[in-house]
Amino acid sequence: MEKMTKAMYFAGLRELVVNYVEDAETAEKYTTWIDEQVALLDKRKESARARAEKKKAESDELTEAIYGVLDENFVTADAITEAVAGEGVTKSKVVARLTKLVKAERVEKSEIKIEGVGKRVAYRIAPETEVEAEEATEE
């Protein structure tokens, strides 16, 4: 069974009012109110969509900033966070973006030893495969 949304409930109520309320003035009051509620739902839905798009765009900017800091040498998440430091940039946000980059195979993840500190997870730009190198030269 399909999940009923508020918009579906309002559509059902509107249909009931139109078909079963005999007093035209009362029916119009109800349908006007129902239409206003549906309009509010649509407005909230559009606002949520706009916020999600804005958040995704900000996320993409941070991801690209992180990728821009990396090179062929392994770097820890702490060092990357310092390099892209800005308002709202935290280590957990950086690690989340790095994880996405690793899954997309744009970044390589490894454990390295740091003297006096121990083992740390580090990241670098993923080396090109032979196929990618050939495609790049063909373009």
Name the residue ranges covered by the structural domains of the chain: 1-69, 71-139
According to DSSP H, which parts of 3-88 are helical? 6-20, 24-69, 77-83
What's the rounded Cα separation, in Å, for the pair 122 and 60? 21
Q: Does residue 129 have a pLDDT over 60? A: no
Residue-level pLDDT at 75: 93
Residue 131 confidence (pLDDT): 45
DSSP 4: P
Query: What CATH code is assigned to 71-139?
Result: 1.10.10.10
pLDDT attached to residue 138: 59
Summarised one tens digit per residue, pLDDT across range 37-84 is 999 999 999 999 998 888 777 668 888 899 999 999 999 999 999 999
Tokens of 65: 């900033």
Q: What is the pLDDT of residue 130?
A: 45
